[in-house]
């Protein structure tokens, strides 16, 4: 193994300490950058899409395959979706709704579901899909992959750069790729350590309604998006590639660009659509891409790369993590994943954690769309589940690590989407339910559709928007920014107002229940999914009502409305424990007879995580019932569902069980060679959920209480983490050795009193802005 690949204690400390990486000059191609642990690397090109390496700037994404004679960059732009603005509300829904509720009250569930499918569901029944722009292909005549030597392909998480390098015929070749968030381009540089050795043929392919032309030295792909589900494509888009060569000759040949004998070639890629917002597609993509290309062309690649690294590191370096190392850390990433369940590789978990943070930074930045089911990376026009926003767990899971791991800024696209949904959801509330406020069901898309889709057995679930509102509260609770809360409060109020209007009084119990609804994607024993008042709905509404009331109190407004909210909250069904000792998924004890006892969703455990309604301290019986539910459900599930289970066991403070699940998540069944999460197929939420689980094992916070090392597994006996965020504008650094806390340092942006817990011990700490407080294990008393 060369020194390039060795990971030492010193390099780990340098990475954590924030040394600035500098792009290597073209004359020194053998080592692309200083070694550090935050790198994915491979000895061969990607053969499949789930082996390629992702770069992104929030709005633009590329998958880099790293071929020798043929490089493929698969491109995405976050507003290139199918269709156009549309209103999916079924005009028959409002009239049919009372009859569906009556059938549910009479326990005629299959009939209720059948009627709902006929008259309540959206038109069209499916939403629009997120789609690929196409591929930029770089073909290098004269290079024979069979003769390439010293091949290396890598993704540097710290500098946000993908690098491919190899030797052939006495020449060292290198390609570097970055996605610049400041200049809004993807930049590629191809160079060699001998002059005149770069030959390239550049072309584009696309499944969109578009054609390629050459305009001087620009390769241009322009056209329109595709129709989908009967909704006409309404977007114009353009992708432009500027070819800048040093030395040699460049010429256009039809729809391709040819470069011969260059010393170095830089490609600048810009993509835009005419999308302005969900109801406005009047933008000018051609002007946008030309302006971005022209602006970026004034800078050298190394300058763009350095700018990209600095802006990325501003977020990425907010948190450092060391879980210890073994010799496994020196191996290629695909080999580590393949053998992870059979070897001790704690640094792989740390790499997975930082990779999750890298992916969120790369797919969700202010001004971009939120991270969807695949973040921003998708090579299809018909991806699995449309690569939409599935808001019955998956979209929320994408943002679980954001506040906790120093990426609060990355939640801005999610918050912007909630603002949009409050508008389209108000139309759905009015037209479908005859209600005030706003509602969103289990999916949405670029056009912010909010009506129930896919079929009543999956889509007739009205609490997706309510769950999203808990992220508004989290944004406030972590930062304690009163101005933000004042802006978010009308959204929370609107979601609560909808449920005040539509909650149904159960004729047998007098409880207020959602009806019709379902426990997400699961069926109960009576030949249907639709029901009234599933456990998850009541748990989500308790959070929505509590947080809305708390926000109004902080803002000193809306006393009459708060009184109504609290009265409704008091009538929601309580959590129940069933005959198996489990937490019931439905109000009735149906769990044992449900057709899928190992169902991937554990919706009824929302109260344990991500909520704090259930915990071992305040609700020990419910916590024990949640544990029993987890035992019945099983540990191994789809990728994202496995990640959720790891978080749940962490909340139960069972570090060994959480770690056991995490090892499965990081293994070859649930992690692809490029570390993408395998549902299968790829869904990015498992990456984000896994990153959150690792953080939850090390620190948890609720209200003004902080739990230190609540679920530390034996596999991580010594380590440290810096920069975690706790609720209440607080940052936490931890170091431990021999599974025992060495130190915890707390820093707060506001004056606040915190209760800090370590095992059975606790103490109260008064924090002041700018004054760190260091604690050791000896300070805690049981």
Q: Determine, yes or no, domain membership for 367.
A: no
Same domain, 428 and 312: no
From CA 557, how far away is CA 541, in angstroms rounded? 20
Q: Determine, yes or no, domain membership for 324.
A: no
Query: Please, what's the b/e burial string for 266-298 (b: 16 or more CB within 10 A of its CB; e: otherwise)?
Result: bbbbbbbbbbebbeebebebbebbbebbeebee
What residues contact 138, with CB distance under 8 A and at least 6 apart?
A: 70, 71, 72, 73, 175, 188, 190, 200, 201, 202, 267
Same domain, 169 and 118: no
From CA 775, how far away is CA 590, in angstroms rounded? 48
Same domain, 589 and 449: yes
Same domain, 409 and 508: yes
Report the chain (782 residues): mean pLDDT per 10 consecutive residues. 32 34 39 69 98 98 98 98 98 98 98 98 98 98 93 98 97 98 98 97 98 96 98 98 97 96 98 98 98 97 98 98 94 96 93 98 98 98 98 98 98 98 98 98 98 97 98 98 98 98 97 98 97 98 98 98 98 98 98 95 98 98 98 96 98 98 97 97 98 98 96 98 97 97 97 96 96 95 76
Given this model, what pLDDT does residue 596 score? 94
Given this model, what pLDDT does residue 2 score? 34
Domain closes at, from 616, 633, 668: 616
* 150 phi-psi bin (left φ>0, alpha ψ -120 to 50, beta other): left
From CA 685, how far away is CA 682, in angstroms rounded? 9
Same domain, 577 and 523: yes
From CA 538, how far away is CA 574, in angstroms rounded? 8
Q: Determine, yes or no, domain membership for 326.
A: no
Query: Please, what's the b/e burial string for 496-515 (b: 16 or more CB within 10 A of its CB; e: otherwise)?
Result: bbbbbebbbebeeeebbbbb
Given this model, what pLDDT does residue 143 score? 92
Taking each helix axis from N to C end, the angle separating 412-428 and 482-502, rounded to the nearest 10 degrees, works out to: 30
Given this model, what pLDDT does residue 14 score? 33
Q: What is the CATH number of the domain that holds 605?
A: 1.50.10.10
From CA 119, how far away is CA 98, in angstroms rounded? 12
Q: Determine, yes or no, domain membership for 373.
A: no
Domain closes at, from 317, 346, 367: 317
Q: Are strands 264-273 and 256-262 parallel, antiparallel or unpaired?
A: unpaired
Domain closes at, from 302, 317, 332: 317
Instruction: List the one residue out of 657, 738, 727 whose CA is nearest residue 699.
Output: 727
Domain extent for 731:
719-779
Same domain, 455 and 598: yes
Could you count the other beta carbons within 10 Å of the beta carbon of residue 665? Answer: 30
Same domain, 517 and 389: yes
Q: Determine, yes or no, domain membership for 97.
A: no
Domain total for the chain? Answer: 3
CB 241 within 8 A of CB 203: no
Instruction: Give the Å distances, CA to CA, from 234 to 84, 227, 231, 279, 283.
Output: 5, 8, 9, 11, 11
DSSP secondary structure code for residue 702 in this structure: E
CB 393 within 8 A of CB 640: yes
> Which residues, listed in sequence order, are joined to residue 102 by a DSSP beta bridge?
none
Same domain, 589 and 513: yes
CB 745 within 8 A of CB 725: no
Given this model, what pLDDT does residue 782 score? 72
Same domain, 738 and 760: yes
CB 674 within 8 A of CB 621: no
From CA 706, how far away is CA 727, in angstroms rounded? 8
Q: Determine, yes or no, domain membership for 439.
A: yes
Q: What angle do CA 179, 76, 349 make, to 5 degrees?
A: 65
CB 175 within 8 A of CB 71: yes
Same domain, 112 and 184: no
Question: First and final CA of the chain: distance in angstroms?
Answer: 50
From CA 782, how far away is CA 778, in angstroms rounded? 11
CB 401 within 8 A of CB 688: yes
> Which residues, listed in sequence order, are joined to residue 740 by a DSSP beta bridge?
737
Backbone angles phi, psi at 566, to 5 degrees: -65, -35
Same domain, 118 and 253: no
Edge-to-edge strands, sheet with 752-758? 699-702, 705-708, 752-758, 761-767
DSSP-based three-state secondary structure for 448:
coil
Given this model, what pLDDT does residue 36 score? 78
Same domain, 443 and 554: yes
Element (H, E) at 639: helix 639-651
Q: Determine, yes or no, domain membership for 353.
A: no
Q: What is the CATH number of the domain that holds 155?
A: 2.70.98.50
Q: Are strands 730-737 and 236-246 parallel, antiparallel or unpaired?
A: unpaired
Given this model, what pLDDT does residue 35 score? 57
Q: Determine, yes or no, domain membership for 396.
A: yes
Burial grade of 142 (CB within 10 A; 0-12, 13-18, 19 or more): exposed
DSSP-based three-state secondary structure for 172:
strand
Taking each helix axis from N to C end, the angle separating 301-316 and 346-363, rounded to the nearest 10 degrees, works out to: 110
What residues contact 431, with CB distance under 8 A and at least 6 apart?
A: 89, 91, 93, 94
Strands annotated E in 99-217: 134-139, 149-156, 161-168, 171-180, 185-192, 198-205, 209-215
């Amino acid at each position: 193994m060369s020194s390039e690949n060795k990971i030492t204690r010193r390099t780990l400390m340098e990475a954590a300490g924030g040394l600035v990486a500098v792009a290597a000059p073209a004359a020194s191609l053998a080592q692309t950058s200083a070694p550090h642990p935050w790198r994915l690397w491979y000895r061969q090109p990607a053969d499949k899409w789930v082996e390629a390496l992702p770069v992104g700037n929030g709005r633009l994404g590329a998958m880099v395959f790293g071929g020798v004679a043929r490089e493929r960059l698969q491109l995405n732009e976050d507003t290139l979706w199918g269709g156009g603005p549309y209103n999916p509300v079924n005009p028959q829904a409002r009239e049919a709704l009372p009859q569906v509720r009556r059938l549910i009250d009479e326990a005629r569930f299959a009939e209720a579901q059948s009627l709902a499918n006929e008259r309540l569901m959206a038109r069209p029944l499916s939403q629009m899909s997120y789609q690929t722009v196409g591929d930029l292909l770089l073909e290098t005549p004269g290079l024979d992959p069979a003769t390439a030597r010293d091949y290396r392909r890598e993704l540097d998480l710290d500098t946000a750069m993908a690098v491919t390098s190899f030797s052939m015929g006495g020449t060292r070749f290198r390609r570097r790729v970055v996605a610049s968030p400041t200049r809004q381009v993807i930049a590629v540089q191809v160079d060699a350590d001998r002059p005149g050795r770069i030959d390239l043929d550049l072309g584009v392919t696309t499944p969109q309604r578009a054609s390629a032309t050459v305009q001087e030295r620009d390769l241009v792909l322009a056209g329109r998006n595709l129709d989908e589900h009967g909704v006409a494509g309404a977007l114009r888009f353009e992708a432009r590639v500027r070819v800048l060569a040093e030395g040699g000759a460049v010429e256009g040949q039809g729809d391709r660009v040819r470069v011969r004998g260059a010393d170095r070639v830089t490609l600048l890629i810009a993509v835009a659509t005419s999308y302005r917002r969900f109801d406005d597609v009047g933008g000018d993509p051609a002007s946008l891409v030309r302006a971005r290309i022209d602006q970026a062309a004034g800078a050298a690649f190394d300058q763009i790369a350095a700018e990209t690294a600095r802006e990325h590191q501003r977020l990425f370096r907010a948190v450092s993590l060391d879980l210890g190392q073994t010799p496994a850390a020196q191996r290629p990433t695909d080999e580590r994943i393949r053998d992870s369940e059979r070897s001790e590789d704690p640094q792989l978990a740390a790499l997975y954690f930082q990779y999750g943070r890298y992916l969120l930074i790369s797919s969700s930045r202010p001004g971009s769309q939120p991270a969807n089911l695949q973040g921003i990376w998708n090579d299809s026009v018909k991806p699995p589940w449309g690569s939409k926003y599935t808001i019955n767990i998956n979209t929320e899971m994408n943002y679980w690590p954001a506040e906790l791991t120093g990426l609060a800024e990355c939640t801005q696209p999610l918050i912007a989407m909630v603002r949009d949904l409050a508008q389209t959801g108000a139309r759905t509330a009015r037209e479908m339910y005859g209600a005030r406020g706003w509602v969103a069901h289990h999916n949405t898309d670029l056009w912010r559709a909010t009506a129930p889709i896919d079929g009543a057995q999956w889509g007739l679930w009205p609490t997706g928007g309510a769950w999203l509102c808990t992220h508004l509260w989290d944004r406030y609770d972590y930062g304690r920014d009163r101005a933000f809360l004042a802006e978010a409060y009308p959204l929370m109020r609107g979601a609560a107002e909808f449920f005040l209007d539509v909650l149904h009084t159960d004729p047998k119990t007098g409880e207020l229940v959602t009806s019709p609804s379902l426990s997400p994607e699961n069926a109960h024993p009576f030949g249907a999914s639709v029901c009234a008042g599933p456990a998850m709905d009541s748990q989500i509404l308790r959070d929505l009502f509590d947080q809305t009331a708390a926000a109004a109190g902080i803002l000193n407004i809306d006393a009459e409305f708060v009184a109504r909210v609290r009265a409704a909250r008091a009538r929601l069904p309580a959590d129940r424990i069933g005959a198996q000792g489990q937490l019931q998924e439905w109000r009735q004890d149906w769990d044992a007879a449900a057709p899928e006892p190992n169902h991937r969703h554990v919706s009824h455990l929302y109260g344990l995580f991500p909520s704090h309604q259930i915990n071992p301290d305040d609700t020990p019986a419910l916590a024990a019932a949640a544990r029993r539910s987890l035992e019945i459900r099983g540990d191994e599930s789809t990728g994202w569902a496995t990640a959720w289970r790891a978080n749940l066991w962490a909340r139960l403070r069972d570090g060994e069980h959480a770690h056991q699940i995490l090892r499965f998540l990081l293994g070859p069944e649930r992690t692809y060679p490029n570390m993408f999460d395998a549902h299968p197929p790829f869904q990015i939420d498992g990456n984000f959920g896994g990153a959150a689980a690792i953080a939850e094992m090390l620190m948890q916070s609720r209200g003004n209480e902080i739990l230190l090392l609540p679920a530390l597994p034996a596999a991580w006996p010594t380590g440290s983490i810096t920069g975690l965020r706790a609720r209440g504008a607080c940052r936490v650094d931890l170091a431990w050795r021999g599974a025992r806390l060495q130190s915890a340092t707390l820093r707060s942006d506001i004056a606040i009193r915190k209760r800090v817990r370590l095992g059975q011990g606790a103490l109260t700490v008064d924090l002041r802005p700018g004054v760190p407080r260091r604690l050791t294990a000896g300070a805690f008393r049981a």
